[in-house]
C-alpha cells in the first residue's frame, strides 16, 4: 500500500517558496511529539535558572558550644582532677580550643608577663574563671556518670565512681553548697543498687548537674567576653582624668564650657555617663538626666590629650564638642574630685 505523504512549504524570501522533501505523516508526528516533550522539560528549567535565589533568612546565631559533649568526651582527664591533673593545663591544651576560647587558652598561664601586663590583661580574673569552668565541667561529667549507672551497674562501675568522689568531694565542695549532695551520692554508691534507690540517685545527680550547668555557662560567658572587657578597661584608663569641654549647640547657637571628670575603671560616680564605650580612638558616651538622653560621639586626638566630636540629645539639641585634658587621673593620694552633673545643652 503506498504511504500517504504531505508537503510542507517554508517561506524563505518574500514571494518565494521552496518545497521540502516529503516525509511520512507518522514521522512528522514523532518529531512534533519529541519537540513538545523537549519544550516541556527544558522550558521550566530555564525559567528556574533565571529566577534569583531567595536571600537567606536572618537567624539568631547559636554561639554556645555543646558543653555536655565536651564533658563526656573529656571524661577521663576531668575525672582525674584535681589530684592527677592541672585544670589550667587541661584548659590550655584541650578544653579551651574545644569551647572556642582560643585567645584565652593562649593567654592564661603565659610566662614572662610583667605585673603591669598581668593587671592590664586581667589575668587574675581570667585564671579564676578558667579554673571554675573546668571544675564545672568535671562536676557535669560526674553527674553524667552517676546517671549512667542505673540499677544494673556492676561493682566495678560503682567502685570507680566511689574513688572519683573520694578524690573530688573536697574540690567540688569549696565555696559551694554541694557537699550534702556529694555525701549522699557516696552513701548511695556504696550500697547495692535497688529499684528504690534509683530515684534518689537520679535526684542527687540532677542537683549536682544543675550547679555544674549554671557554673559552666556563667564562666564561659565571662571568658568569652574577656577580650572586650580588656579593651574597655584600656579605654577607661585612657579617658580617666579631668577635661575642659567647649560645647556649641546649633539649636540655639549657644556656647558653653564645662569641666568633665572621668573616674578610673571600677570607680562609681553619680556624675558618670550611663554608658561608656571606648574602641581604639572612638569614644561613645550616653548621658541620662532628668532632661532626657544625650549621646556623644568623640575621637581621641593630640596623642590622647584632646577629644573632638559631636552630640545629639532628646531635647532637640545637636552640635560639636571639643575637649582638652587639664589633669590626669586621680592623684597618688587618692583624692577624688566630683564633676558637675552634665546637662543637655
**Which CATH number fits the domain that encloses residue 280?**
2.40.128.120
299/58: higher pLDDT: 299
Measured between alpha carbons, how far is 46 from 42 in angstroms, rounded to an integer?
Answer: 6
Mean pLDDT value across residues 108-121: 90
Residue 306, φ and ψ in degrees, nearest 5:
-135, 150
273-294 tens-digit pLDDT? 999 999 889 999 999 988 899 9
Query: What is each CA distance from 113 to 118, 123, 130, 235, in whole angstroms?
Result: 6, 10, 18, 21
The answer as to whether 60 is a domain residue is no
Shared-domain flag, residues 152 and 95: yes
Interval 291-301 mean pLDDT = 95
Specify if 56 maps to a domain.
no
Q: Hey, what's the cell of 154?
A: 556492676
Is the same domain home to 134 and 90?
yes
Residue 204 counted as domain residue:
yes
Q: Determine, yes or no, domain membership for 241.
A: yes
Q: What is the pLDDT of residues 221-256, one digit of tens each?
A: 999 999 999 999 999 999 999 999 999 999 888 899
Looking at the fold, whether 190 and 258 belong to one and the same domain comes out as no
Domain boundary among 165, 189, 224: 224
246 and 113 fall within a common domain: no
67 Cβ contact partners less than 8 Å away, ≥ 6 residues apart: 99, 137, 140, 213, 216, 217, 220
User: Are 105 and 250 in the same domain?
Assistant: no
pLDDT cut 90: percent of the chain above it: 59
- Annotate 63-87 with DSSP letters as a single string: ----HHHHHHHTHHHHHTTTTTS-H
Residue 1 has pLDDT above 60, yes or no: no
Residues 256 and 172 in one domain: no
Same domain? 80 vs 207: yes
Domain that holds residue 16: 5-46
Contact 338, 269 (CB under 8 A): yes
- Please report the pLDDT score of residue 230 as a whole number: 93
Does position 307 have pLDDT exceeding 80, yes or no?
Answer: yes
Strands 306-313 and 16-19: unpaired
Give yes or no: residues 121 and 207 share one domain. Answer: yes
DSSP 341: P
Which of 61-65, 105-109, 310-314 holds the top average pLDDT?
Answer: 310-314
93 pLDDT exceeds 90? Answer: yes
Q: What is the arithmetic mean of pLDDT over 292-308? A: 95
Same-domain check for residues 72 and 90: yes
Instruction: Give domain status of residue 334, yes or no.
Output: no
Distance CA 170, CA 182 (A): 9
> What digits encode the pLDDT tens for the residues 27-80?
545 544 454 445 444 444 444 445 556 666 666 556 789 999 999 999 999 999
pLDDT on residue 15? 44
Angle formed at CA 113 by CA 110 and CA 114, multiple of 5 degrees: 160
Q: Does 267 reside within a domain? A: yes
Q: How many domains does the chain have?
A: 3
Answer yes or no: do 124 and 265 share one domain. Answer: no
Q: pLDDT at position 62, please? A: 63
Within a domain: 138: yes
Q: Is residue 190's pLDDT more than 60?
A: yes
Contact 172/178 with Cβ under 8 angstroms? yes
Amino acid at each position: 500500500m503506498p504511504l500517504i505523504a504531505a508537503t510542507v512549504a517554508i517561506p524563505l524570501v518574500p514571494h518565494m517558496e521552496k518545497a521540502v522533501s516529503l516525509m511520512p505523516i507518522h514521522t512528522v508526528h514523532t518529531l512534533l511529539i519529541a519537540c513538545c516533550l523537549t519544550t516541556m522539560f527544558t522550558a521550566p528549567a530555564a525559567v528556574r535558572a533565571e529566577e534569583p535565589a531567595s536571600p537567606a533568612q536572618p537567624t539568631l546565631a547559636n554561639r554556645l558550644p555543646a558543653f555536655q559533649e565536651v564533658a563526656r568526651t573529656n571524661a577521663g582527664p576531668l575525672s582525674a582532677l584535681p589530684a592527677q591533673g592541672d585544670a589550667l593545663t587541661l584548659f590550655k591544651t584541650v578544653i579551651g580550643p574545644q569551647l572556642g576560647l582560643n585567645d584565652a587558652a593562649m593567654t592564661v598561664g603565659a610566662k614572662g608577663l610583667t605585673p603591669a601586663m598581668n593587671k592590664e590583661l586581667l589575668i587574675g580574673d581570667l585564671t579564676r574563671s578558667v579554673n571554675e569552668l573546668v571544675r564545672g565541667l568535671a562536676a557535669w561529667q560526674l553527674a553524667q556518670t552517676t546517671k549512667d549507672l542505673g540499677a544494673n551497674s556492676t561493682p566495678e562501675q560503682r567502685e570507680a565512681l566511689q574513688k572519683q568522689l573520694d578524690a573530688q568531694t573536697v574540690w567540688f565542695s569549696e565555696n559551694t553548697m554541694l557537699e550534702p549532695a556529694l555525701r549522699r551520692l557516696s552513701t548511695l554508691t556504696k550500697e547495692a543498687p535497688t529499684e528504690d534507690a534509683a530515684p534518689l540517685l537520679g535526684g542527687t545527680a540532677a542537683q549536682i548537674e544543675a550547679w555544674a550547668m549554671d557554673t559552666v555557662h556563667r564562666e564561659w560567658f565571662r571568658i568569652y567576653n574577656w577580650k572586650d572587657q580588656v579593651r574597655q578597661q584600656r579605654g577607661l584608663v585612657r579617658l580617666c582624668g579631668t577635661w575642659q569641654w567647649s560645647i556649641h549647640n546649633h539649636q540655639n547657637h549657644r556656647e558653653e564650657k564645662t569641666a568633665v571628670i572621668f573616674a578610673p575603671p571600677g570607680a562609681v560616680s553619680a556624675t558618670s555617663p550611663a554608658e561608656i564605650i571606648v574602641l581604639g580612638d572612638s569614644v561613645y558616651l550616653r548621658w541620662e538626666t532628668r532632661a532626657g538622653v544625650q549621646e556623644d560621639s568623640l575621637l581621641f586626638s593630640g596623642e590622647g590629650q584632646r577629644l573632638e566630636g559631636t552630640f545629639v540629645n532628646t531635647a532637640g539639641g545637636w552640635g560639636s564638642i571639643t575637649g582638652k585634658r587639664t589633669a590626669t587621673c586621680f592623684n597618688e593620694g587618692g583624692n577624688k574630685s566630683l564633676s558637675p552633673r552634665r546637662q543637655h545643652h
